[in-house]
Structure 1
Amino acid sequence: MELLNSLFRPGVGPQAFTPEATIQALLDVEAALARAEADVGVILPATAEAIAAHCRVERIDLPRLAADAAQAGNLAIPLVRQLTALVAADDAVAAGFVHWGATSQDILDTALVLQLRRALAGIAADLDSLIELCAERCAQHRGEIMAGRTWLQQAPPITLGLKLASLLDALLRQRERLRQLRPRLLTLQLGGAVGTLAALAPHGLAVMEQMARRLDLAAPDLPWHSQRDRLAELACWSALLCGTLGKLGRDVSLSAQTEIAELREPEQPGRGGSSSMPHKRNPVACAVMLAAAARAPGLAATLLTALVQEQERGLGGWQAEWETLPDLLCLSAGALRQAEELLRGLVVDSDAMRRNLEASRGLIMAEAVTMALGQRLGHARAHLLVAECCEQVRRQGSRLADALLGHPELISLLNEDALHTLLDPDKNLGAADALIERVLRHYREQTDG
């Protein structure tokens, strides 16, 4: 629904796929086809320019085009009909060379690639911004200690910097994947009826090369009418990105729960309100990222299913791509914008993090104690005895230090000062800082490179 574009699809995505942008992309391909044919002598340069002069979306009757597409089965057929009529009004001879030697899928596929290039330029820029911001916040909160959590339960301590470094690491992989797939994706489609370029013989390959040059696209080794892996690869990348951002949304929303209150979305007037509960501040950005992550796998699956196309031209599978891939790209772009807004204004409550570290009365450090005792008792025995002490803490509401020091088998093995160090979260962060530095170094190398 267009009414929800500002929520789910902010950014460049919808702009690349408006009706006007779609038709202009189709016309750009038709103009490039005519000019490429003139480049190699298939038609006269004056004929090509007569065609190109009318390849402007404002000259097309869009409502009539949409109605005619319902009968024709695609947009290209009625568009070529309108374009031919426009050219014929000025040059009847040139009108006979509109769409010369091409098939509808050539025009539709290449136009889609042009739109994807436009959308990906914006998405790549937003991804770069998010990565830069994530690196800044990672460095800013590098030593900010908090409880790690596994299966939604407290586990040994980590730092907020490490949590953000994990996100940064995933985003860096996403950027690298995008850089790798772009050259494969941004490829011309031109093959004629069955991919042999027979209608343009003996100039077919030359026209293809010139057309690719004019559109600044790669010329394929051969047409890809029924080999759709390029588009499916982009769909999978988009789903991976949405999943990565959904993970961010999930973690922040869990940390924003009233009982935890460690992280919150940016505070803005009217943001996250409730129609019935005046006190509410709902995590809007998290909701959008999670919604995109929920929808993206199904949309990507449609593109994967569409890979199985019939012979030299798909029936149904090709058509299934038309709305699905743009929608997926728009959702990805929207989730990126929301993620950037979230990270830029993320509210971090250090006091709540420290308070939650103390909530387990020392149980959060049970692993550190077990590993220290395991050097003298063996891991299995140490694990059993520390587990007994943990159960006592849960049952009696005492502290782990008291339970350990009161255990008849452990009291002789525990030095009170050493135990204090083992139970200090700040002194049991392992290689967290070194791991953060590894990711930040990778960020600097990838960004500078």
Structure 2
Amino acid sequence: MSASPFDHPFLTGLLGDVEIAARFSADADIAAMVRFEIALARAEAAEGVIGSDSVDAIERGLSNFEPDMSALRDGVARDGVVIPALVKAMRQTVETPHGEKVHFGATSQDAIDTSLALRLGDVLAVMETRLRDVVATLQSLEATQGSAEVMAHTRMQAAIPVTAARKIASWRLPLERHLERLEGVRHGIRVLSFAGAAGTLEKLGDKGPAVRARLAEELGLRDVDHPRHSERDGQAALASWLSLVTGSLGKIGQDIALMAQNEVGEVKLAGGGGSSAMPHKQNPVGAEVLVTLARFNATLLAGMHQSLVHENERSGAAWTLEWMLLPQMSVAAGASLRTAAALLDGLQFQARGTR
């Protein structure tokens, strides 16, 4: 049993997304933080902050690093973040005296936020591919079945007949606009976090900016000259985008569920859910899931906007709230895109004479 449907033994079949969820696993998070620490050592060695022998030792020590998860759990319970316990374990793995150079000049939030930026880059790449595929499916549906006649409804009442192309366009065009917005969202997320304890890189002296630039290049992230530890507008913009995507897909699901009703019969689903009591039914499960996930992300979006409120230079409370919400919103959006693709594949508009 699980408290979340996104990692539940069987509810994941309906609401989960294995590919997206994998980016938020503990293993993926630790791997990204190890990548950060190795890249940091390389950047600092290139600028003469640490010796090249320390870099070699750090790379050897962390190449197959596997921390004790129970020790990390105890560390988080004590410290509120994983980095003190994780860095301690890393330093013990790296041969003396080079272990003390692990994480030099960085702070916990640098490693955690950079790990998130790296993993969210992968998440957005997956979502972009899926979103483009859904748009392409709708374009094909519009081209092949757009001439079918359906009834337009305003305020849930029959209005006038229109072509299916009109309805399909109302599904497709918002998704195309979300694709246009995506680059701006990615720009705000793919940012290196490296600023030290209070955003000044004080331990690196005048070499701080150069180390930061090298680190950003090594990780393929954007170098910014002002710390963003307490500036979470990029994460909030991502959450808004995720909710826009699931909301637009939810509108598709709602329309299809209504059009598939027996007494309406304007579309035929390629597949559907059965009933334990009424075997004659074909329930519009996929369409309903799109509506559910749209409402779920719309609800969590308010929480992500609450996480914008960081007191001073860092907030444990607001930051922790972000950890709770953003992964769930991402998995929900991934599941929504996956479900929409399956729902639209084989969707048939019914000619009036065949209803």
TM-score (norm 1): 0.75
- Gap change, CA 1:59 and 1:218, over 3 Å in 2: same
| Mapped pair 1:325 → 2:345 | no
Q: Distance in 2 between matches of 1:71 and 1:194?
A: 21
Give how far 1:23 is off.
1.2
Taking the TM superposition and a 5 Å limit, the aligned residue runs for 1:196-207 are 196-207=200-211
Give how far 1:6 is off.
2.9
Give the secondary-structure state (helix, strand or coil) at the position aligned to 1:208: helix
Q: Which residue of structure 1 lines up, in the alignment, with residue 33 of structure 2? A: 26
Q: Which residue of structure 2 lines up, in the alignment, with residue 347 of structure 1? A: 348
Give the secondary-structure state (helix, strand or coil) at the position aligned to 1:221: coil
Give how far 1:77 is off.
1.7
Partner residue of 1:70 out of 45, 65, 77: 77
Q: Distance in 2 between matches of 1:75 and 1:323?
A: 15
Q: Which residue of structure 1 lines up, in the alignment, with residue 338 of structure 2? A: 337
Q: Distance in 2 between matches of 1:224 and 1:198?
A: 16
Q: Distance in 2 between matches of 1:56 and 1:10?
A: 29
Counterpart residue type for residue 232 of structure 1: A
| Mapped pair 1:296 → 2:300 | no
| Mapped pair 1:83 → 2:84 | no
Give how far 1:57 is off.
6.5
Q: Distance in 1 between matches of 2:301 and 2:46?
A: 39
Q: Distance in 1 between matches of 2:124 and 2:109?
A: 22
Q: Which residue of structure 1 lines up, in the alignment, with residue 157 of structure 2? A: 153
Give the secondary-structure state (helix, strand or coil) at the position aligned to 2:62: coil
Compare 237-246 and 277-286 and name the one that shifted more: 277-286
Question: How well do the aligned residues superpose, as a CA RMSD in angstroms?
Answer: 1.5
Give the secondary-structure state (helix, strand or coil) at the position aligned to 1:323: helix
Q: Which residue of structure 2 lines up, in the alignment, with residue 430 of structure 1? A: none
Give the secondary-structure state (helix, strand or coil) at the position aligned to 1:120: helix
Give how far 1:313 is off.
0.8
Q: Which residue of structure 2 lines up, in the alignment, with residue 369 of structure 1? A: none
Q: Which residue of structure 2 lines up, in the alignment, with residue 308 of structure 1? A: 309
- Gap change, CA 1:68 and 1:275, over 3 Å in 2: farther
Q: Do the aligned partners of 2:274 and 2:283 also contact (CA within 8 Å) in 1?
A: yes
Partner residue of 1:141 out of 140, 145, 159: 145
- Gap change, CA 1:10 and 1:350, over 3 Å in 2: farther
Q: Which residue of structure 2 lines up, in the alignment, with residue 183 of structure 1? A: 187
Counterpart residue type for residue 67 of structure 2: I
Give how far 1:52 is off.
2.7
- Gap change, CA 1:173 and 1:10, over 3 Å in 2: same
Give how far 1:232 is off.
0.4
Q: Distance in 2 between matches of 1:99 and 1:30?
A: 6
1:158-182 C-alpha deviation (Å, 9 max, x unpaired): 1111111111111110000012221
Give the secondary-structure state (helix, strand or coil) at the position aligned to 1:322: helix
1:108-132 C-alpha deviation (Å, 9 max, x unpaired): 0010111101111111110111111
Q: Distance in 2 between matches of 1:254 and 1:49?
A: 63
1:334-393 C-alpha deviation (Å, 9 max, x unpaired): 1001001111121322236x76xxxxxxxxxxxxxxxxxxxxxxxxxxxxxxxxxxxxxx
1:138-161 C-alpha deviation (Å, 9 max, x unpaired): 111221111111111111111111
Give the secondary-structure state (helix, strand or coil) at the position aligned to 2:101: coil
Give the secondary-structure state (helix, strand or coil) at the position aligned to 1:223: coil
Give how far 1:56 is off.
4.8
Size of the aligned set, in residue pairs, is 348
Q: Which residue of structure 1 lines up, in the alignment, with residue 274 of structure 2? A: 273
Q: Which residue of structure 2 lines up, in the alignment, with residue 12 of structure 1? A: 19
Unaligned runs of 5+ in 2: none
Unaligned runs of 5+ in 1: 356-449
1:238-276 C-alpha deviation (Å, 9 max, x unpaired): 001110000001000011112112123322xxx411222
Q: Do the aligned partners of 1:145 and 1:160 also contact (CA within 8 Å) in 2?
A: yes
- Gap change, CA 1:62 and 1:315, over 3 Å in 2: closer
Q: Do the aligned partners of 1:9 and 1:335 also contact (CA within 8 Å) in 2?
A: no
Q: Distance in 1 between matches of 2:230 and 2:208?
A: 19
Q: Distance in 2 between matches of 1:322 and 1:70?
A: 15
Give how far 1:208 is off.
0.6
1:9-63 C-alpha deviation (Å, 9 max, x unpaired): 2252112111211111111111111111112111112212321333357522223
Give how far 1:331 is off.
0.5
Counterpart residue type for residue 240 of structure 2: C
Give the secondary-structure state (helix, strand or coil) at the position aligned to 2:97: helix
Identity %: 36
TM-score (norm 2): 0.94
Q: Distance in 2 between matches of 1:18 and 1:261?
A: 43
1:70-97 C-alpha deviation (Å, 9 max, x unpaired): 222112221111111111xxx2111111
Say which one has the larger Rg. Answer: 1
